[in-house]
Amino acid sequence: MVENNVPKTIQVIDIDAYSPPQIASRIDKVATAKARLSFAQTFILGILAGVYIGIGAQFATFVTCDSTLHYGLTSLIAGIVFSLGLMLVVIGGAELFTGNCLIIMGYVGKRITTRELLNNWIISFLGNLVGSLTMVCWMYKTHQWEFFHNMVGAKALLIAHTKVNLTFKTALARGVLCNAMVCLAVWLCFSGRSVADKVLSIVFPIGGFVASGFEHCVANMYFIPIGIVLRKNPDIVAAAEKMAGKTLDLSQLTWSGFFVNNLLPVTMGNIVGGVVLVGIVFWFVYLRPHISLAFSVKQDFFHK
């Protein structure tokens, strides 16, 4: 009779969140994979991301259109429901320009080239624009803007009106802070091991940037064009002026106002916020060659 005294191998399932060095390493690998996607893959996934963010934007507009709560609470609710957009992007899989600012980690680590970096950013940005405008067309066809005696449309018009009347410096600063929070949401997602982890990682950073009034270029690709379309409807304009309690000067709510007054400074700010405040900082802390080696040795030591 053979005694079975050989110890069995026990499989340990790690349920703890990934550590910051591990998050940095995971993002670095994903950055390389994203940079190597074909034009068609990046563009189509960019269109999907634009649609997803548009879904979150219209959801936030609809839910808060007739709110009588305190402004801060209303903004918080808008932020929480808007989080749906990034959940669809991260979990469903899509190429969002603002989140892809984290690809800079692969670039400064010399894993991807300048051409690959710019290709991803430009193609995903254009795809996001196409997807957002597609969502505007679909939402206009739904006539959802007529709900609650045109209050949904009035809310959409007021949001767009506010955004195109920001000063260049204000739009730029709000763009910086916005994408710092978006990229931090993506960073936290890479710490999770389940869908629930990712959902919880997204809600508060995204809810925070929306409630704080920060500016997201892809969200604005939906928010402002839907306002431009609705400004031609006298009933919507009347409802918006009633909601605002004043006559509205809609002279800046044009396509040139969209691109020059808002999209340009906000996009610049988003790049600074995502690239500098998050991507480069975390690469410097965790992925510099000798730093990366030190963390690797430390992890090997504690796993022994």
27-40 pLDDT, tens digit each: 999 999 999 999 99
Higher pLDDT among residues 13 and 42, named by residue: 42
Q: What residue ranges do the domains of the chain occupy?
A: 20-293
pLDDT digits (tens, 9 = 90+) for 223-242: 999 999 999 999 999 999 99
Q: Residue 301's pLDDT is what?
A: 44
Q: Residue 289's pLDDT is what?
A: 80
pLDDT digits (tens, 9 = 90+) for 134-186: 999 999 999 999 999 999 999 999 999 999 999 999 999 999 999 999 999 99
Query: Span 20-293: which CATH code?
Result: 1.20.1080.10
Rounded mean pLDDT of 7-22?
Answer: 74
Q: Residue 6's pLDDT is what?
A: 56
* Cα distance between residue 209 and residue 182, in whole Å: 8
In the predicted model, is pLDDT for residue 288 greater than 90? no
Calculate ∠ Cα 270-27-212, nearest 5°.
35
Q: What percent of the chain has pLDDT over 70?
A: 90
pLDDT digits (tens, 9 = 90+) for 179-225: 999 999 999 999 999 999 999 999 999 999 999 999 999 999 999 99
Q: Residue 14's pLDDT is what?
A: 63
Q: Residue 302's pLDDT is what?
A: 44
CA distances (Å), origin 236, targets 85, 227, 230: 26, 10, 7
- At residue 250, φ and ψ (nearest 5 deg) are -95, 20
Rounded mean pLDDT of 103-125?
Answer: 96
pLDDT digits (tens, 9 = 90+) for 59-84: 999 999 998 899 999 999 999 999 99
Place of tokens 């204000």: 170
In the predicted model, is pLDDT for residue 55 greater than 70? yes
207 close to 216: Cβ distance less than 8 angstroms = no
In the predicted model, is pLDDT for residue 304 greater than 60? no
- Under 8 Å CB-to-CB from 112, ≥6 apart: which residues? 31, 32, 35, 36, 103, 106
Calculate ∠ Cα 171-256-172, nearest 5°.
10
Token pair belonging to 66? 């007739």
Count of CB atoms situated within 10 Å of the CB of 33: 11
